[in-house]
Amino acid sequence: MMMPSFRSTLILAMLALLLDTTQAFLAPTATVVGKASWVRLYQSTVTAESPPPPTKPFVADAVLDMTDDNFSQIIFDHPDQTLPPLVLVDFYAPWCGPCRLIEPIVQQLARAARPEELTVCRYNTDGLGSLAPFKMQLAMEGCVVRALPALVLLRADPTTTGPEPSLTVLEHWTGLHSREVIEEGMAPHLAAWRRDQGASDNQNKNNKGFLHMTSEPEDDYMLSHLNC
């Protein structure tokens, strides 16, 4: 029987020592950590290395979609208000790059506006000719939108009534403009709206309790005997 060489004995001894060291290292770890702990450790590692969660989505859209079917309702139909609000219309098309650039500004204006004072809308002009009902309504007021993007500030004429009330074009912006420029242009018209609203409220207050007398003989007799 051949005796193992010194070199073979040394290699076997080193392998045995390495095996004992590995078992000594792993055994306590498996005992202490356990299956559930390994799962928690894995989850914490994945959480630490995972990208942060996405930010909250953009707030609910505050801009109304105006069409040729509902523009009259948006502009004129406000039975719960003495005066209809001003209306800011964003004329756009899906293929218009600058329109997408001004969209965040329009959204900001809509969220900052008081609903009773200002309604902000967008009007998709894609595929619409110049004879579209809303465009025709604006054309009759001297406003023709020839380029995009375009913003138009409108006001329903409170002096007209009936099936076809009229409107007034207050401002017309073409191209890209900052929020400050648009707000500066709207400011005097909003101030005028507030003055008219205040005057209307005062008129309503003065009319409360007003007694309308008819010119009848009995009324004349009653009035002649009042101690005033």
Domain borders along the chain are 64-193
- Higher-pLDDT residue of 97, 224: 97
Structure tokens at 214: 């008819």
**Mean pLDDT for all residues in the chain:** 75
In percent, the amount of the chain with pLDDT more than 70 equals 57
- Higher-pLDDT residue of 183, 163: 183
- pLDDT over 50 at 158, yes or no: yes
Q: What is the average pLDDT across 61-88?
A: 91
Amino acid (one-letter) located at 203 = Q
Beta strand extents in 30-134 (DSSP E only):
64-66, 86-92, 118-124
Q: How far does CA 13 lie from the centroid of its chain?
A: 76
In this predicted structure, what is the pLDDT of residue 194?
Answer: 94
Structure tokens at 88: 């800011």
- pLDDT over 90 at 145, yes or no: yes
* C-alpha closest to that of 103 among 154, 179, 48: 179
110-136 pLDDT, tens digit each: 999 999 999 999 999 998 988 899 999
Structure tokens at 170: 């207050």
What is the pLDDT confidence band of residue 6, given thresholds at 50, 70 and 90? low
What is the pLDDT confidence band of residue 168, given thresholds at 50, 70 and 90? very high
Judge whether 172 and 150 are in contact, CB under 8 Å: yes
Determine whether 32 is exposed, middle or buried from the number of CB atoms within 10 Å of its CB (0-12, 13-18, 19+). exposed
Lateral strand order in the sheet of 167-174: 64-66, 118-124, 86-92, 150-156, 167-174
Known catalytic membership, residue 228: no
Q: How far apart are CA 144 and CA 174, in angstroms?
A: 11
In this predicted structure, what is the pLDDT of residue 162?
Answer: 56
Q: How far apart are CA 4 and CA 8, in angstroms?
A: 6
- Pick the catalytic residue from 96, 121, 143, 228: 96
Beta strand extents in the chain (DSSP E only):
64-66, 86-92, 118-124, 150-156, 167-174
- pLDDT over 70 at 14, yes or no: no
- Pick the catalytic residue from 99, 121, 143, 228: 99
199-224 pLDDT, tens digit each: 765 555 555 544 444 444 454 444 44
| Peptide bond preceding 149 in cis form (omega within 30 of 0) | yes
Structure tokens at 178: 């900052």
Amino acid (one-letter) located at 60 = A
- Higher-pLDDT residue of 173, 41: 173
In this predicted structure, what is the pLDDT of residue 166?
Answer: 84
- pLDDT over 80 at 73, yes or no: yes
15-43 pLDDT, tens digit each: 665 555 445 444 444 444 454 554 454 45
- Higher-pLDDT residue of 39, 178: 178
**CATH of range 64-193; options 3.60.15.10, 3.40.190.10, 3.40.30.10, 1.20.1250.20:** 3.40.30.10
pTM, full prediction: 0.62
φ and ψ at 75, to 5 degrees?
Answer: -80, -45
